[in-house]
């Protein structure tokens, strides 16, 4: 750049004793262009010259276009793709043409910061499509080089590269600043905004709408209940079911992602006793929020609503206990009971095996300790298997009464062991009751889906506008005031002096006295303030007199008409 203009210099100084290559162009006034020969080098020089000398503020008087528009038209024409010979100079020109655009990259320290390096050219000359057009020719040459052994394509390895995302993003965002061109837009686009009027069955808005519509109608389509194994669902949570937390269907942000193990019992018991008039609008906010968060949670909304709507589920007995630890299973098992025995055993250094004396010939303390440890482990393993067999055989779902375990009190904490076994029996018994309860609920849902249908839900659609009719304001417009009503009668403004004078002798005498006072002030005024005061006083007196005359004239006319 030389000031506000581009300065292009053609280097004619070649190596000594070597020929200087040049290109010849003829000014064609009929086609309004520069005409050269058919070689690719001549065409690319032509393109490069137009691209460099382009002005962002005016068009070329010969072509009627900007240099960038003319360069793009030549690059995308068939003449630049009908290649007979390709050499190193052509590859260099393609590289130079493709470089006439800003370089965009991410900052090395901050990944989300873009760094742009602009050339010393007008901004409208740095056109992204020059790169696209040059790359199309490069790709064409690389495909056709297998049929032309004499082509020199090594120079194409220096063809500039770019970040695809930043390059396409910059092209789209600067398109309104760049001159129009006949080429098509690149196939890639910037991020697409998906507006909410586009209906998708997988969208969060659709799930929330379907949940809210069903709750508002207080009807549930049991066919939409896709969960066929409630017990498997509850076990998949990997957490005990509890009901100790404070629970309410009033909306709270926790409903967007509720902890299901902590709300299942309370939700079931509360929904069984819910009332449409009292609780419908609470559920309208809480359950759709849960459906909005994820598709997995949206599948539970019909189940929750069925608890509140269908009499068969409302008649089902509530859950009796406040906690169900499903990790204990439905009955005591050998590994679980064996672990309880191991947990209640005294540590090795407190066990009877620790006092076993050394044998004759055992001089190493490590050997004695190893033998004691082996005896301890053998005894613990045998007792654990024995107790586990006894407890498992004693289990009965109808009468879950644990047996009393008797072991050596010097080796085990028998009180804790019996308490742990009793707790295990109680937990398994509660889990059996929960399993039977969920099986009955699952059966009721299956029967309902086979014979009942919900009311048709309203269609989820987007209304682009609201047809609101605005009432005409009860105001009188200027047109109505001036042109659509007759003018009011106007009283004559002539002053009837022959009968007004007799009505205001005091006013006239007072006015004359005031006039003499004003004249005296005007004659004795020595500064601008006194003169201004006398002038304003005279104007006020005249205005007062005119108002008095109008009032007296109106009263006199009324009295005369009444006579």
Annotate 394-456 with three-state secondary structure.
HCCCCCCCCCCCCCCCCCECHHHHHHHHHHHHHHHHHHHHHHHHHHHHHHHHHHHHHHCCCCC
3-state secondary structure of 34: strand
Q: How far apart are the C-alpha atoms of 388 and 266, rounded to whole Å? A: 35
Structure tokens at 376: 């301890």
Structure tokens at 355: 């006092």
Q: What is the pLDDT of residue 461?
A: 62
What are the φ/ψ torsions at residue 123 (nearest 5 degrees)?
A: -65, -35
Q: How far apart are the C-alpha atoms of 496 and 502, rounded to whole Å? A: 11
Structure tokens at 239: 């957490």
444 with 313: CB under 8 angstroms?
A: yes
Residue with tokens 């105001």: 475
Nearest CA-CA partner of 212 in 251, 258, 247: 251
Q: How far apart are the C-alpha atoms of 90 and 110, rounded to whole Å? A: 38
Q: How far apart are the C-alpha atoms of 190 and 173, rounded to whole Å? A: 9
| C-alpha separations of 5 from 1, 2, 54, 139, 254 in Å | 6, 5, 10, 34, 64
Q: How far is CA 36 from the centre of its chain?
A: 55
- pTM here is 0.46
Buried residues in 287-310 as b, exposed as e (16+ CB within 10 A): bbbbbbbeeebbbbbbbbbbbbbb
β partners of residue 412: 345
532 with 540: CB under 8 angstroms?
A: no
144 with 83: CB under 8 angstroms?
A: yes
Q: How far apart are the C-alpha atoms of 540 and 159, rounded to whole Å? A: 92
Q: How far is CA 382 from the centre of its chain?
A: 62
Nearest CA-CA partner of 133 in 179, 100, 166: 100
441 with 225: CB under 8 angstroms?
A: no
pLDDT in tens, the chain (563 residues): 667 777 888 777 766 656 777 888 899 888 888 888 888 888 999 999 888 888 767 788 888 888 888 888 889 888 888 888 898 889 999 999 989 888 888 888 877 888 888 888 887 788 888 888 899 999 999 888 888 888 888 888 889 888 888 888 887 777 766 654 444 455 555 566 666 666 677 788 888 888 898 899 888 877 777 778 888 888 888 888 988 777 888 888 888 888 889 889 988 888 988 888 899 999 999 999 999 988 888 888 888 998 898 888 888 888 888 889 988 888 899 999 999 988 998 888 888 887 777 777 776 777 778 888 888 888 889 988 988 888 888 888 888 888 888 888 888 888 888 899 899 999 999 999 999 999 998 888 888 777 666 556 566 565 655 555 655 555 666 666 666 767 666 665 544 444 444 444 444 556 677 777 878 877 887 778 888 888 888 888 777 777 766 666 666 655 655 55
Q: What is the pLDDT of residue 283?
A: 92
**CB neighbours (10 Å) of residue 78?**
6
Q: How far is CA 555 from the centre of its chain?
A: 78
Q: How far apart are the C-alpha atoms of 482 and 476, rounded to whole Å? A: 10
Q: What is the pLDDT of residue 288?
A: 92
CA dihedral 380, 386, 390, 395 (to 10 degrees): 60
Q: What is the pLDDT of residue 181?
A: 46
Residue count of the chain, please give it.
Answer: 563
Please give the DSSP secondary-structure letter assigned to residue 319: P
- Residue spans of alpha helices (H) in 151-236: 164-173, 204-217, 230-236
β partners of residue 345: 412
β partners of residue 116: 104
Q: How far is CA 183 from the centre of its chain?
A: 34
Q: How far apart are the C-alpha atoms of 418 and 406, rounded to whole Å? A: 9
β partners of residue 422: none
β partners of residue 5: 2
28 with 35: CB under 8 angstroms?
A: yes
**Taking each helix axis from N to C terminus, what angle separates 88-98 and 128-144, rounded to the nearest 10 degrees?**
150
Q: How far apart are the C-alpha atoms of 321 and 445, rounded to whole Å? A: 23
Q: How far apart are the C-alpha atoms of 517 and 346, rounded to whole Å? A: 126
3-state secondary structure of 32: coil
Q: How far apart are the C-alpha atoms of 204 and 163, rounded to whole Å? A: 34
């Amino acid at each position: 750049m030389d000031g506000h203009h581009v300065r292009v210099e053609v280097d004619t100084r070649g190596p000594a004793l070597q020929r200087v290559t040049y290109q010849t162009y003829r000014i064609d006034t009929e086609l309004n262009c520069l005409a050269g020969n058919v070689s690719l080098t001549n065409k690319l020089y032509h393109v490069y010259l137009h691209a460099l000398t382009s002005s962002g503020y005016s068009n070329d008087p010969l072509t009627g276009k900007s240099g960038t528009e003319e360069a793009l038209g030549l690059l995308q024409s068939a003449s630049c793709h009908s290649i007979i010979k390709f050499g190193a100079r052509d590859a260099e020109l393609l590289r130079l043409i493709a470089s006439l655009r800003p370089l965009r990259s991410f900052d090395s320290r901050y990944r989300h910061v873009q760094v742009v390096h602009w050339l010393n050219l007008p901004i409208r000359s740095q056109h992204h499509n020059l790169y696209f057009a040059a790359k199309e020719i490069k790709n064409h040459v690389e495909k056709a080089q297998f049929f032309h052994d004499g082509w020199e394509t090594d120079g194409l390895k220096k063809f500039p590269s770019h970040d695809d995302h930043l390059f396409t993003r910059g092209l789209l965002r600067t398109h309104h600043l760049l001159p129009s061109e006949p080429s098509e837009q690149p196939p890639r686009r910037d991020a697409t905004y998906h507006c909410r009027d586009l209906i998708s069955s997988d969208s969060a808005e659709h799930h929330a709408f379907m949940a809210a519509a069903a709750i508002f109608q207080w009807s549930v389509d049991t066919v939409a209940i896709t969960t066929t194994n409630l017990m498997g669902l509850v076990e998949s949570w990997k957490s005990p079911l509890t009901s100790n937390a404070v629970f309410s269907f009033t909306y709270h942000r926790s409903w967007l992602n509720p902890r299901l193990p902590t709300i299942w019992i309370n939700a079931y018991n509360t929904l069984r006793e819910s009332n449409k008039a009292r609780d419908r609008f609470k559920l309208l906010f809480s359950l759709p929020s849960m459906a909005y968060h994820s598709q997995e949670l949206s599948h539970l909304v019909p189940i929750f609503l069925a608890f509140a709507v269908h009499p068969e589920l409302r008649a089902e007995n509530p859950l009796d206990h406040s906690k169900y630890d499903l990790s204990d299973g439905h009955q005591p098992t050998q590994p679980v009971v064996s672990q309880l025995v191991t947990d209640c055993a005294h540590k090795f250094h407190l066990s009877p095996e620790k006092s076993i004396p050394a044998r004759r010939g055992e001089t190493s303390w490590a050997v004695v300790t190893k033998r004691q440890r082996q005896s301890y482990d053998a005894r613990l393993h045998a007792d654990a298997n024995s107790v586990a067999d006894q407890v498992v055989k004693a289990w009965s779902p109808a009468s879950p009464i644990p047996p009393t375990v008797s072991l050596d009190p010097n080796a085990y904490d028998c009180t804790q062991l019996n308490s742990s076994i009793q707790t295990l029996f109680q937990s398994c018994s509660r889990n059996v009751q929960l399993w039977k309860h969920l099986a009955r609920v699952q059966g009721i849902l299956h029967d309902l889906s086979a014979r009942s249908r919900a009311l048709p839900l309203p269609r989820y659609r987007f209304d682009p506008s609201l047809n609101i009719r605005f009432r005409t304001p009860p105001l009188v417009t200027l047109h109505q005031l001036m042109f659509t009503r007759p003018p009011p009668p106007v009283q004559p403004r002539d002053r009837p002096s022959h009968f007004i004078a007799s009505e205001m002798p005091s006013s006239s005498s007072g006015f004359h006295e005031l006039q003499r006072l004003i004249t005296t002030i005007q004659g004795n005024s020595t500064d601008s303030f006194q003169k201004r005061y006398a002038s304003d006083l005279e104007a006020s007196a005249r205005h007062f007199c005119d108002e008095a005359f109008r009032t007296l004239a109106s009263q006199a006319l009324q009295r005369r008409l009444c006579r």
